[in-house]
Amino acid sequence: MNVLTLNAGSSSLKAGVYHVLNDELITLGKAELTGIGTTHVRCRIKGTLIHSHDIQSSDFKSDSDSVTINTLYQPFIDDLFEQFNLQESKLIVSHRVVHGGTVFSSAVAVDRRVLKSLTDLIHLAPLHQPYNLKLIEEMMKRYPQTLNIACFDTMFHSTQSELHTSFALPKMYREKGIRRYGFHGLSYAYLSETLRLKQRTKERTVALHLGAGSSACAMIGGQSIATSMGFSAVEGIPMGTRTGQLDPGVILHLLRNGMTPDQIEHLIYKESGWLGLSGISSDMITLLASSDPQAGFTVDYYCEHIAQEISRLTTTIEGLDRLIFTAGIGEHSPVIRQKVVDHLNWLGATLDADANEQQSQCISDEDSRILINVQPTDEEAMLAQYAKTFVR
């Protein structure tokens, strides 16, 4: 049995190909389609088949002004089927879907009824959910013999108690699903599995998934207790173009002064965050390299708000034994890690400067009261693991 994992976003599509042998997952290859929505789209396929056959990379290009998802998904996936000799009848396709709402707290086989339920949740994750579901539809249409399963970013957080998922709203609204959900669950689940956090039943951990989308998750014994993101993926830490925490009174003010809900949605999801603060870029690498004072201000704002979330979550789990940095910025930016930890010296967290610069797995120094790790995440591997478990 083979597993194809698909993780669709607004500008990229990541894929992994795995073989299940004696209940073990063997990675056959990884692929990524980037630049969706631009005039130059690139596909990178890297992998080694069982017989050590190297997969060659290929390009997807367009002469049009913009490239739509519809014109790219099909040739990209067809290329994967050809390169890895995938057969419909022996294939499980494991999809990342951002929002499962209150209905889906575990992986589920997708049929038309499930697809309709997930479509109703698009307004909760407008940057991601439409692309996730469009890809599932394409796969069901193009390869009808495959089993498509959906794995949700929200499902890792299903262990949270009502105390940590509730808003201070009347019960009738909470019963309608207006509550905290939490996201980046595939990433946090991978960290929990890889670092065997569940075996450390009393260990108090805060994991930081830091990238253009950023969040923090508090765990005890590898289980989610609380998180920075809430009802939608816009809350919490400021992100590439998303506001993060925002007083709801600002939304009311904008509505009363003539902005429409669609305009406000565009503002808080696509014009704010690092882009809005700096007026320069939504790319942290660009901001870190810039001498513009607003770029520096944005970096400092980002790091202080990360530290504030860590402090809040530390209160929730009544202490902190381990801090984990992961995802693009968390794994690759010594500057961001240093700035964040500097805000936590009062907690007894201190870095080993050399280990931090060298991207070592352990970057805390010998005097630190908190273990600090840099740990790569792999959402594709977690999707494959969920698929294997689902079938078993």
Residue 226 CB contacts under 8 Å (≥ 6 apart), including other chains: 160, 164, 217, 218, 313, 316, 317
pLDDT beyond 90 at 4? yes
Q: What is the pLDDT of residues 108-160, one digit of tens each?
A: 999 999 999 999 888 877 777 888 888 898 889 888 899 999 999 999 999 99
Least confident of 81-90, 258-267, 382-391: 81-90
pLDDT beyond 50 at 50? no
Q: Name the token pair of 35.
A: 């630049």
Give the mean pLDDT of 103-107: 89
Q: What is the pLDDT of residues 301-331, one digit of tens each?
A: 999 999 999 999 999 999 999 999 999 999 9
**Residue 37: what pLDDT?**
63
- Equal CATH topology for 2-152 and 197-374: yes
Residue 385's nearest CA partner among 12, 8, 27, 9 is 27
Give the mean pLDDT of 41-59: 58
Q: Name the token pair of 360.
A: 């070592």
Residues forming the active site:
153
* Predicted structure pTM score: 0.90
Least confident of 24-28, 63-67, 126-130: 63-67
What is the CATH architecture of 2-152? 2-Layer Sandwich (3.30)
pLDDT beyond 80 at 390? yes
Q: Where are the domains of the chain?
A: 2-152, 197-374
- Coil, strand or helix at 323: strand
Q: Name the token pair of 65.
A: 């002004």
Instruction: Label the pairing between strands 215-220 and 223-227.
Output: antiparallel
Query: Where does the pLDDT of residue 25 fall: very low under 50, low under 70, confident under 90, or very high at 90 and above?
Result: confident
Give the mean pLDDT of 177-182: 92
pLDDT beyond 60 at 354? yes
Give the mean pLDDT of 62-66: 46
Q: For the chain, how far is it from start to end, CA to CA, in angstroms?
A: 12
Mean pLDDT rounded to a whole number for the chain: 89
pLDDT beyond 60 at 53? no
Give the mean pLDDT of 285-293: 96
Q: What is the pLDDT of residues 198-227, one digit of tens each?
A: 999 999 999 999 999 999 999 999 999 999
Rounded Cα distance, 230 and 247, in Å: 14
What is the CATH architecture of 197-374? 2-Layer Sandwich (3.30)
Of 338 and 89, the one with more pLDDT:
338
HSE (side-chain half, CA atoms, 13 Å) at 224: 32
Residue 365's nearest CA partner among 326, 335, 338 is 338
Query: Where does the pLDDT of residue 10 fall: very low under 50, low under 70, confident under 90, or very high at 90 and above?
Result: low
**Residue 63: what pLDDT?**
45
